[in-house]
Amino acid sequence: AQSVTQLGSHVSVSEGALVLLRCNYSSSVPPYLFWYVQYPNQGLQLLLKYTTGATLVKGINGFEAEFKKSETSFHLTKPSAHMSDAAEYFCAVSDQGDDKIIFGKGTRLHILP
Amino acid sequence: GAVVSQHPSRVICKSGTSVKIECRSLDFQATTMFWYRQFPKKSLMLMATSNEGSKATYEQGVEKDKFLINHASLTLSTLTVTSAHPEDSSFYICSARVPHYEQYFGPGTRLTVT
């Protein structure tokens, strides 16, 4: 069965600093991997996704993530944090050909002025 | 991009009553929609998969008689919480699937049962 582990329920970075949100997954078959962002009292917005091909995936708002099969990881990064990046971030996994998406528990990103 | 709407965005109901939440795909047809429940400061829990024209598939532990799901058309799925109780208070989010394995999420519905 698939699962997702997000390390750190809360991460704080200073404005302008590197953002690194960690995600490890477990899947018995090649996975599809996703990062979503959720602002308070709103639904989820897709930041980026990995399906096949290039392992470094670029998303919206300057975020990117790298699929590392050997490490079963899909960490999310952004070179320079902005105050507007403060939100909840969810890593998610699904098996190729499966409709279900399994979410991690989320990481709350705090941006310090 | 694809837009999914939910109505209402917020609802307060009395214990014992039923409440219906609508999920619409506004600019695309979705053969599959999903319903999630999100507890405060928690992740999203998949409740059920809704397929147009057929019965919904519920996840283990989700009471199908309590959470009635209807997917009557390619653009509309509804979730009805029957005989609601305070423990059903939560944030309910739907999503709709489009080709190329993308899910688009609605803005969510905050249900409060008093």
Nearest-CA distance B94 → chain A (Å): 8
Look at residues A74, A40, A42, A107 and name the one whose alpha carbon lies nearest to residue B43. Answer: A107
Question: What is residue A29's predicted lDDT score, i.e. its pLDDT?
Answer: 80
Give residue B53's pLDDT: 81
pLDDT band at A106 (very low <50, low <70, confident <90, very high): very high
Nearest to A91 by CA among A24, A43, A8, A26: A24
Q: Mean of the per-residue pLDDT values for chain A?
A: 92
Report the range of poorest mean pLDDT among A40-44, A89-93, B47-51: A40-44
**What is the least distance, in Å, from the CA of B10 to any CA of chain A?**
10
Average pLDDT along chain B, 114 residues, taken 10 residues at a time: 90 97 91 89 87 88 94 91 96 83 86 96
* Residue type (1 letter), B4: V
First to last CA, chain A: 41
Cβ within 8 Å of residue B47, ≥6 positions away? B35, B36, B37, B58, B59, B62, B67, B79
Residue A45 to residue B105, Cβ atoms within 8 A: yes
Distance of CA B20 to CAs A26, A41, A79, B112, Å?
Answer: 36, 19, 43, 13
Q: Which residue from B49, B91, B104 is facing A99, i.e. has the nearest CB?
A: B49
Nearest to A44 among B6, B97, B105 (CB): B105
With bands split at pLDDT 50, 70 and 90, how would you rate the model's confidence at A88? very high
Whole-angstrom Cα distance, residue B104 to residue A91?
A: 15
Q: How many CB atoms lie within 10 A of CB A20?
A: 13
The pLDDT of residue A110 is above 90: yes
The reported pLDDT for the residue numbered A7 is 92
pLDDT digit string, tens, across residues A54-70:
899 999 999 999 999 99
